[in-house]
């Protein structure tokens, strides 16, 4: 039974072939490639600053993670140290991006459970974050705030106040929903014990991000391999032991609150100073860096020969290992639970699809 | 320091040929094509994760970069594979997650992974011509 590539309960094109016996799923297979845009291929043919703009277009919902990760990889090759203020602004946008992304998924999850009132309330809250991002960067999505060597725009007092207000509104709003997520009969019936991933399987399958942390593994790039200024900020890595769809949603819910905590610290501590340094020609060299994107570990590998364009750019997005775990999660599930299980992985299909040759 | 000790041991056991340090928590190493399976088993036993495999077209050779993560440190292990007969052992038995990485490299570069359970297309359309490996440099 095909689930996708075009399906009512899927926002993005992916094909999950389900093998079923009656209402029971006995096997599943994943096929991607429906939104291939040739990003790794194009990057080998474009100057570094244009590659940056391309990187943030790998995915609209993890856009800051991509541009930040690409920029820090190139900066490492070039031996450039980004001004501290720029690092703080990058983290500010990245965490607002995480809040926006997690709220998007939580709303979507409510929708997939058939709980549309909750969906609309959560997305109304998300709108506050979108507005704050627009004020900060000029864009609702594709913020384009990162530039090689720093950021493009500064944050003044007025903007900082607007972000603070948005953050406290979102926090209050979220606290209202905790009762619903933890106690509502619909939510619990649709998610508790559904699509359970054991700790052993999570480690064996190499899943990342909230999916891994909801199966009891404490692993977050921001803590395990700190980048930017994360080692100066206080936050908890949210871990749950249940491993089911509910735990995956709850990890994201609690992570949103942690992100708000980070945002407030950034606004308090942001040092004055320059917001970028010039990056000259990128010398021969290579670097591998990663960031914790909303969906988990995102890795970039860049190889430079000193030419104006990169020799090779490799992007490993968090959705690749996570969607790879879908067949294991779906085994023995009921067909009616498939949308919730796939949704709980928060797959970003655009992220996973990057390469194709456009010209013959 | 721990990672360096570990890599030093791998060199003495012959699993990798040499290793270097790029910066804090970033290491590189080189390994022989024929010892990739042994390398993967050793890394798995040491508790390393496999965040990615990268293929780079170097002209006459392919360079496979196995990115391992050991407790927050990234170890990039490079393996040269000749372009004439691009073949290397699959590491899917040690790392199931490698299936997607290997299938992508197979269809984009044409490197064959021996023992890959389903060497089928993952991203490219089914009717994509067999001879056309889009990510190869011309």
Going residue by residue through chain A (360 aa), what tens digit of pLDDT does each one get? Answer: 888 888 777 777 888 889 999 999 999 988 888 887 889 999 999 999 999 999 998 888 889 999 999 999 999 999 999 999 999 999 999 999 999 999 999 999 999 898 999 999 999 999 999 999 999 999 988 899 999 999 999 999 999 999 999 999 999 999 999 999 999 999 999 999 999 999 999 999 999 999 999 999 999 999 999 999 999 999 999 999 999 999 999 999 999 999 999 999 999 999 999 999 999 999 999 999 999 999 999 999 999 999 999 999 999 999 999 998 999 999 889 998 998 998 888 887 776 665 444 443
- Ordered by start, the domain boundaries in chain A are 37-321
Query: Taking a C-beta distance cutoff of 8 angstroms, is the pair A35, A11 a contact?
Result: no
Least Cα separation, residue A202 to chain B (angstroms) = 11
The model carries a pTM of 0.94
Residue B72 exposure: Cα atoms within 13 Å on the Cβ side? 14
Answer CATH for A37-321 from 3.90.1150.10, 3.40.50.720, 1.10.645.10, 3.40.50.1220? 1.10.645.10
Cα B30–B36–B39 angle (5° rounding)? 80
Q: What is the edge-to-edge ordering of all strands in the sheet holding A284-293?
A: A284-293, A296-305, A312-316
Least Cα separation, residue A151 to chain B (angstroms) = 24
pLDDT per residue as tens digits for the range B49-73: 999 999 999 999 999 999 999 999 9
CA gap A75, A287 in Å, rounded: 9
Residue A297, number of CB atoms within 10 A of its CB: 28
CA gap A18, A24 in Å, rounded: 10
Across the interface, do A290 and B74 touch by the CB < 8 Å criterion?
Answer: yes
Residue A351, pLDDT score: 66
Size of interface A-B (CB pairs under 8 A): 80
Q: Given A303, A316, A356, which is nearest B52 (Cβ)?
A: A316
Cis peptide before A137 (omega within 30 of 0): no
Find, in chain B, the residue whose alpha carbon is nearest to that of A300. Answer: B52
Find, in chain B, the residue whose alpha carbon is nearest to that of A356. Answer: B134
Residue A104 host element (H or E): helix A84-113
Classify residue B87 by its DSSP letter: E
Query: Taking a C-beta distance cutoff of 8 angstroms, is the pair B110, B87 a contact?
Result: no
Q: Which of A91, A324, A289 shows the shortest CA–CA distance to A211?
A: A324
Find, in chain A, the residue whose alpha carbon is nearest to that of B135. Answer: A41
pLDDT per residue as tens digits for the range A92-129: 999 999 999 999 999 999 998 989 999 999 999 999 99
Query: Taking a C-beta distance cutoff of 8 angstroms, is the pair A237, A223 a contact?
Result: yes
CA gap B96, A181 in Å, rounded: 33
Across the interface, do B134 and A224 touch by the CB < 8 Å criterion?
Answer: no
ipTM: 0.95
Across the interface, do A224 and B71 touch by the CB < 8 Å criterion?
Answer: yes
Across the interface, do A356 and B71 touch by the CB < 8 Å criterion?
Answer: no
CA gap A260, A262 in Å, rounded: 5
Q: Given B72, B122, B134, which is nearest A32 (Cβ)?
A: B122
Q: Which of residues 32-91 of B touch A (CB under 8 A)?
A: 49-52, 54, 56-57, 65, 67, 69, 71-74, 76
Find, in chain A, the residue whose alpha carbon is nearest to that of B22. Answer: A287
Pairing of strands B18-23, B26-31: antiparallel
Q: Which of A59, A147, A49, A70 shows the shortest CA–CA distance to A97?
A: A59
Cβ–Cβ contact B136 with A under 8 A: no
């Amino acid at each position: 039974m095909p689930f996708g590539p075009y399906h009512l309960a899927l926002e993005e094109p992916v094909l999950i072939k389900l093998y079923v016996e009656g209402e029971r799923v006995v096997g599943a297979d994943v096929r991607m490639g429906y939104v291939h845009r040739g990003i790794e291929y194009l990057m080998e043919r474009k100057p570094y600053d244009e590659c940056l703009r391309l990187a943030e277009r790998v995915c609209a919902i993890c856009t800051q993670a991509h541009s930040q990760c690409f920029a820090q990889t190139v900066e490492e090759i070039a031996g450039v140290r980004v001004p501290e203020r720029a690092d703080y602004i990058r983290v500010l946008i990245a965490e607002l991006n995480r809040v926006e992304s997690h709220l998007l998924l939580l709303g979507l999850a409510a929708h997939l459970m058939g709980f549309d009132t909750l969906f609309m309330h959560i997305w109304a809250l998300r709108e506050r974050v979108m507005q704050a991002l627009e004020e900060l960067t000029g864009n609702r999505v594709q913020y384009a705030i990162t530039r090689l060597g720093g950021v493009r725009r500064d944050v003044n007092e007025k903007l900082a106040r607007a972000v603070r207000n948005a953050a406290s509104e979102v926090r209050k709003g979220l606290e209202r929903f905790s009762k619903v997520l933890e106690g509502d009969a619909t939510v619990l019936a649709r998610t508790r014990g559904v699509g359970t991933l054991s700790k052993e399987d999570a480690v064996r399958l190499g899943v990342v991000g909230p999916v891994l942390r909801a199966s009891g593994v404490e692993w977050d790039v921001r803590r395990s391999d700190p980048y930017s200024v994360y080692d100066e900020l206080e936050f908890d890595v949210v871990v749950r032991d249940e491993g089911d769809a509910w735990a995956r949603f709850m990890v994201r819910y609690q992570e949103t609150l942690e992100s708000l905590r980070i945002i407030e610290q950034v606004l308090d501590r942001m040092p004055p100073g320059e917001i970028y340094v010039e990056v000259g020609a990128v010398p021969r060299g290579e670097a591998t860096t990663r960031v914790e994107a909303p969906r988990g570990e995102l890795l970039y590998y860049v190889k430079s020969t000193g030419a104006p364009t990169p020799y090779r750019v490799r992007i490993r997005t968090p959705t690749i290992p996570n969607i790879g775990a879908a067949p294991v999660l779906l085994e023995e599930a009921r067909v009616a639970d498939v949308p919730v299980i796939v949704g709980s992985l928060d797959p970003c299909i655009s992220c996973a699809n990057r390469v194709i040759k456009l010209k013959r | 320091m721990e990672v360096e000790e570990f890599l030093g041991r791998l060199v003495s056991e012959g699993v990798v040929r040499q290793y270097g340090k790029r910066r804090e928590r970033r290491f590189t190493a080189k390994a022989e094509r024929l010892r990739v399976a042994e390398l993967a088993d050793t890394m798995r036993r040491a508790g390393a994760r496999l965040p990615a495999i990268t293929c780079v077209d170097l002209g006459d050779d392919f360079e496979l970069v196995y990115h391992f993560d050991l407790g927050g440190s990234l170890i990039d292990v490079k393996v040269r594979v000749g372009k004439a007969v691009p073949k290397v052992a699959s590491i899917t038995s040690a790392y199931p997650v490698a299936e997607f990485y290997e299938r992508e490299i197979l269809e984009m570069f044409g490197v064959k992974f021996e023992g890959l359970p389903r060497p089928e297309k993952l991203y490219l359309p089914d009717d994509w011509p067999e001879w056309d490996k889009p990510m190869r440099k011309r």
